[in-house]
Amino acid sequence: MKRFKSLFVAVVAASLVGSNPAAAQPQPIKIGFIAELTGPWTFFGNACVQGLKMATDEINAAGGVLNRPLEFVISDSQTNPAQALAAARNLDVNEKVVAISGPTSSDVALALYGYAEQQKLPFLVPAAAFPLLTKPGTRYTFRLEPDAVGWGYALAKFVEQRKPGAKIAVIYSDAALMRAIVAGLKYQAPLSKLNIVSEIMFPAGSSDATVQAAQVKAANADFVIVSGAGAFDNIITNQLLDLGVAPNQIIHPFGTATQVFGWGPRSVGSFYGSFFDLGLDTVTPAGKAFIARYHAAHGRPAGYGENFCYVTAHVFKEALAKAGGVDREKLRQALSQVKMKEPTSDVPIEFDKNGARKEYIYFLQMQSVDSKKDYRSKQVFYTEWDPEVIPVYQLVK
Amino acid sequence: MSDATILVLVSMLITGVLLGLVFALVAAGVSIMYGCIWLPNASNGQVFVLAGLLAWSLTNSLGWSVLAASLAVLAAGGVMAWMLEFTLIRRLYEAPNRNIDYFVMTLGLTQIISGVFSVTYARYNDQYELPKTIEGVTFLGPMPITNTRLFVIAVAALAIAALFAGLRYHQMGRALRAVFQNRDAAALRGVDVKSVYRFAFILGTVVTMLGGLLYAMAYSFDLTLAWTMSVTAFAIMIVGGPGSIFGALVVGLVFGLTQAGVSVVASPTMATFAYLGAMLLILLIKPSGVFNR
Amino acid sequence: MTKAHSNILGGIVCCSLVALPFALQSNKFLAFILGMVLINMIWACGMNVLYGFVGLMPLMYAGIAGIAAYGMIHLTRAEGWSFWVAMPVASLCAAIVGVLLGLPSLRLKGFYFTLCSLVIQTAMTLVFSYFPKYTNGDTGINQISPPTLNGKELNGAMFEVVLVLFALAAVGSVAFIMSRPLGKRFIAVREDEVLAEAVGIDVVRTKVLAFFLVSLYAGVGGCLYAVYVGFVSPRAFDILSSLAIWLIVAFGGRGSIAGPIVGTLVLAPLPYLLQEVPWAKDIILGVLIVGVILWFPGGIYGSLFKGRGVRAAVRKGDADRMVDQRV
């Protein structure tokens, strides 16, 4: 009994010493992070938060920012714009965050855009590709992911380089993202001397693409651009392959790790676009470490979505350090002047006057897929472009 | 006829039949529940996807074969349905306007299931796929068809035929139809209405899950499929007539064939409007459904 | 409770409701939740008139709200009208559409009407997505500016006060309508259409009027939603939204004035309050719904408060069930 008593006293004393205000931790710098933790985009929202957490842990282990820990206050938008706005208000007024970030879904991002511009709250969008997020006149919103119309433009350039004068078929789901990509592709195709021989669009809720695959096969294209929504992308791909379209005729405008595994060994030889991938030539040691750590923690290599969120934390770190303090106006200024490289791949990060990043994309070719959650890809193309090289804000409203 | 045209036509046929039979099966499951118990099951889409997800878990994590996993899932589904009936469904058998109450209750169930999904499967991946059920490809003219798709068509057709025959010739099936038509008269003739209800609920659930398994065998799927399937199943049931398996079959096939073939002649968007228009017409002209006696 | 007492109670409730936005100014999050609750209350009142009193379940309700919202946005942005003019005009247009969409009910009863309205709602969501000229498609319309009052933009507590006034008007107007002969005619149609026709009620005209009124509530709520949240997309006005509003009425107690209010107060804030527990939100909501339907089949208000007026409403609920059974 006496032993327990002295142990008890020791514990109480230790906790009193521990809570000594003189030894208190510095106040964390708070940034609001409104992610899709439930709802249709659960997967992307959660993957993003996981990437973000890894970056935050590293940054704080190395001393944080301005000698204070960096804290992202995570709130669930439920992939619903009204919920996202409520969360934004909460974070803005109650938590008094210095900035917000978080959405991977474009419509949530667009809803928050209005709030951010109105409330003069710096808003860094990690991974939503809709061009309107940086329409002319934007002051407080910055977008890290290149815009979707630009992906279509770059895709045309890739095909042009691969086979000048090629005939292409485009087969895609009717979602805002795909429409934007196709708008960019169709704009650039004639300029790149490409011939679109077949264009098929599927409404939401489609289940089967065999007939359309047959139509595409009949059109005899050199390349088939495949962009389906969710699992439908896999369905289109498999059905094209079933009908005898060769894997190296298939190009996906974008592909992250889970998609590559979904396409599977059958698709070895297919091409896909990416912004960060373990197959890139430019992955830095820090990037390799990130991929490996993510793989160990979550059972699959990190893809570009997780990378954008990882990099978001680093961008805030840089910008806050430059701003020198937790002030929204200074942070906005610092973000607009950011000139750094992604720690994971050395790709430059720089925003134009509307908050759009100088854009880039890689194209890779699948080399092998091991169902045990590993794959190999080879980089075959890289391009950079200025956001307004094509009239992006006219092509998509 | 050129090879290309044959390809398109044959693919239309196969796809239409495949989709149509799977849709018909799910619609049949919903129809049995609504026709017999007066239970419009808003959670049928979630149950449909659940079957596929469970099969995925068994094949992916435990390495079972697709067939073994499917049988296990169906058995588990039957047990789950029995438990659900025991705890929740049977409480409303006597309620006079139970169709509305059941609709609300199943909306609640939909929320619960989708909530469970959002912390489990939804976080793990955004798309799911089962391994090939049967390897190999058969050729119908110039058209290659995977053997898995042929298998799915065969099983779906057999299942619908079995349902139809069972309802017509088996004692329990006849009891079900008696209760469809007139519950009180059936009770007077000695039918144990409550056990018929229980049977209808379990049967309906298992049939829906079979539809989900077959879909998962033929296609990749993601969680957004749940609502789409729910609305499709209800639509087919409305047009075909609640309680009519034949109606579900015919309307399902029409649905499947139109979805498969429409992009050849018109924009798929127009097709969707066309279905909706057709459903409205049926509801206005013959609300009890095309095939209801 | 005597009439005088309930009048005083009503007055106190109204005054405190108007004061609430000011009290919540320090917490913008709760103020926003209050705003959403009020908009939902307007919607629930309308849904209750059709579902609770006339006996028809209109799943295209959110679609009608959407038509009014998009119409209002077009009028204010493209034509430069003031919100206060655009909103009534857009709501009236939506009401006309609502009447047209309600015409099938002249032939369909009970659950068949519900299914029909489900089809109509699905079609409306598609129309919203595929005619981007007015709706901007899936991307939605953002940065919808708040209405101006006396030259100043409506912001902060004043906005919520305006919403309170609208909500009170909605509740009051429903109570008023139901106390008039028109309200009695609604109930008569719900109980027994054939009998109603036999005693000289023009059933067709009554139903058309019901659809017109109900769509007005949907439209006004839709316009207010658009300017309050500042962002609309087809997903804001889809089948799930209709179901959520219907659930509020079924859950709170249909066929009574207070039922939808109770339903809104319980269900509307939940998704916002449960934002901190994303893993449990859907499950909690689902369990709540299942629990209520098992133990309070007529809705919370109907089952809990066995007041004299309410016992009559519950009895009306019974007659209600007889109508449905004839499907």
Same domain assignment for residues A158 and A213: yes
**pTM strictly above 0.95:** no
Mean pLDDT over C15-42 rounds to 83
Task: Choose, out of C101, C111, C239, C270, the residue to mutate when testing the contact with B (most B CBs < 10 Å).
Answer: C111
Return the CATH class of domain B3-285.
mainly alpha
Work out the minimum CA distance from A50 to partner chain C, whole angstroms: 15
Same domain assignment for residues A269 and A388: yes
Neighbour tally for A264: CB within 10 Å: 18
**Cβ separation A111–C235 shorter than 8 A:** no
Same domain assignment for residues A335 and A236: no
Calpha distance A281→A380 (Å, rounded): 10
Work out the minimum CA distance from B221 to partner chain A, whole angstroms: 5
Q: Token digits for C32?
A: 């926003």
pLDDT string in tens for chain A (397-residue length) = 555 555 555 555 554 444 444 445 688 999 999 999 888 888 999 999 999 999 999 999 998 899 999 999 999 988 888 889 888 988 888 888 999 999 998 888 988 998 899 889 999 999 988 888 888 889 999 999 999 999 999 999 999 999 999 999 999 988 888 989 999 999 999 999 999 999 998 877 788 888 888 888 888 899 999 999 888 999 999 999 988 899 999 999 999 998 999 898 999 999 999 999 999 989 999 999 999 999 999 988 999 999 999 999 999 999 999 998 889 999 999 999 999 999 999 899 999 889 999 899 999 999 999 876 789 999 999 999 988 888 888 887 6
At C327, is the pLDDT very low, low, confident or very high (cuts 50, 70, 90)?
A: very low
Does the CB of C160 have a partner CB in chain B at under 8 Å? no
Same domain assignment for residues A373 and A255: yes
Express each pLDDT in B172-206 by its tens digit: 888 888 888 777 788 888 888 888 999 999 999 99
At C70, is the pLDDT very low, low, confident or very high (cuts 50, 70, 90)?
A: very high
Same domain assignment for residues A89 and A55: yes
- Among C65, C323, C311, smallest CA distance to C186 is for C323
Residue C300, phi then psi, degrees to nearest 5 = -60, -50
Residue C245 burial (C-beta neighbours within 10 Å; 0-12, 13-18, 19+): buried
Pairing mode of beta strands A250-252, A223-227:
parallel
Mean pLDDT over C303-319 rounds to 49
Contact A287, A343 (CB under 8 A): yes
Same domain assignment for residues A227 and A265: yes
**Cβ separation A175–C33 shorter than 8 A:** no
Picking from A87, A117, A176, the nearest residue to C139 by CB comes out as: A176
Picking from B104, B111, B279, the nearest residue to C119 by CB comes out as: B279
Residue A34 falls within a domain, yes or no?
Answer: yes
Q: Token digits for C147?
A: 């209405």
Same domain assignment for residues A156 and A225: yes
Q: Token digits for A132?
A: 């309107």
Contact B221, B127 (CB under 8 A): yes
Mean pLDDT over C121-136 rounds to 83
Contacts with C5 (C-beta within 8 Å, 6 or more apart), sequence order: none
Same domain assignment for residues A178 and A164: yes
Distances (CA, A) of A229 to A40, A146, A237, C231, C324: 12, 19, 12, 24, 41
Work out the minimum CA distance from C231 to partner chain A, whole angstroms: 6
Same domain assignment for residues A213 and A169: yes
- Of the segments B47-61, B95-109, C256-270, which one has the largest average pLDDT value? B47-61
Pairing mode of beta strands C231-232, C141-142:
antiparallel
**Cβ separation B225–A211 shorter than 8 A:** no
At C2, is the pLDDT very low, low, confident or very high (cuts 50, 70, 90)?
A: low
Point out the least confidently predicted range of B40-54, C21-35, C168-182, C304-318.
C304-318
The total domain count for chain A is: 2
Per-residue pLDDT, A89: 85
Contacts with C18 (C-beta within 8 Å, 6 or more apart), sequence order: C161, C164, C165
Work out the minimum CA distance from C282 to partner chain A, whole angstroms: 9
* pLDDT for residue B287 is more than 80: no
Rounded to the nearest integer, the mean pLDDT of chain C is 81
Same domain assignment for residues A221 and A290: no
Picking from B115, B123, B232, the nearest residue to A43 by CB comes out as: B123
Per-residue pLDDT, B123: 86
β-sheet bridge partners, residue A382: A362
Give the residue numbers spanning the domain of A139.
29-146+284-357
Calpha distance C54→C67 (Å, rounded): 23
Residue A123 falls within a domain, yes or no?
Answer: yes
Chain-centroid distance of CA B236 in Å reads: 10
Picking from C33, C129, C143, the nearest residue to A114 by CB comes out as: C143
Express each pLDDT in C271-281 by its tens digit: 888 877 777 88
Same domain assignment for residues A140 and A154: no
Place of tokens 């320090």: C26
Q: Which chains touch C (3 or more CB pairs under 8 A)?
A: A, B
Contact A260, A366 (CB under 8 A): yes
Among chain C residues, CA nearest to B87: C294
Same domain assignment for residues A223 and A321: no
What is the CATH classification number for the domain harbouring A379? 3.40.50.2300
Determine the 3-state secondary structure of B139 from DSSP: strand
A66/B97: higher pLDDT: A66
Per-residue pLDDT, A2: 55
Q: How many CB pairs under 8 A join A and C?
A: 92
Mean pLDDT over B269-274 rounds to 74
Calpha distance B26→B22 (Å, rounded): 6
Q: How many CB pairs under 8 A join A and B?
A: 108
Spell out which residues of chain C touch residue A203, defining contact as CB-CB under 8 Å. Answer: 126
Pairing mode of beta strands A271-274, A374-385:
unpaired
**What are the domain boundaries of chain B?**
3-285
Spell out which residues of chain B touch residue A44, defining contact as CB-CB under 8 Å. Answer: 126
Residue A9 falls within a domain, yes or no?
Answer: no
Work out the minimum CA distance from B199 to partner chain A, whole angstroms: 31
Three-class DSSP labels, chain A: CHHHHHHHHHHHHHHHHHCCHHHCCCCCEEEEEEECCCCCCHHHHHHHHHHHHHHHHHHHHCCCECCECEEEEEEECCCCHHHHHHHHHHHHHHCCCCCEECCCCHHHHHHHHHHHHHHCCCEEECCCCCHHHHCCCCCCEEECCCCHHHHHHHHHHHHHHHCCCCEEEEEEECCHHHHHHHHHHHHHHHHCCCEEEEEEEECCCCCCCHHHHHHHHHHCCCEEEEECCCCHHHHHHHHHHHCCCCHHHEEECCCCHHHHHHHCHHHCCCEEEECCCCCCCCCCHHHHHHHHHHHHHHCCCCCHHHHHHHHHHHHHHHHHHHHCCCCHHHHHHHHHCCEEECCCCCCEEEECCCCEECEEEEEEEEEEEECCCEEEEEEEEEEEECHHHCCHHHHCC
Contacts with C325 (C-beta within 8 Å, 6 or more apart), sequence order: B96, B97
Binding-face residues of C in 279-308 toward B, CB within 8 A: 279-290, 293-294, 297
In percent, how much of chain B has pLDDT > 70?
Answer: 96
Does the CB of B120 have a partner CB in chain C at under 8 Å? no
Picking from B104, B272, B284, the nearest residue to C126 by CB comes out as: B272
Per-residue pLDDT, B63: 87
This model of the complex carries an ipTM of 0.86
Per-residue pLDDT, B149: 92
**Cβ separation A82–C236 shorter than 8 A:** yes
Task: Choose, out of C135, C231, C284, the residue to mutate when testing the contact with A (most A CBs < 10 Å).
Answer: C231
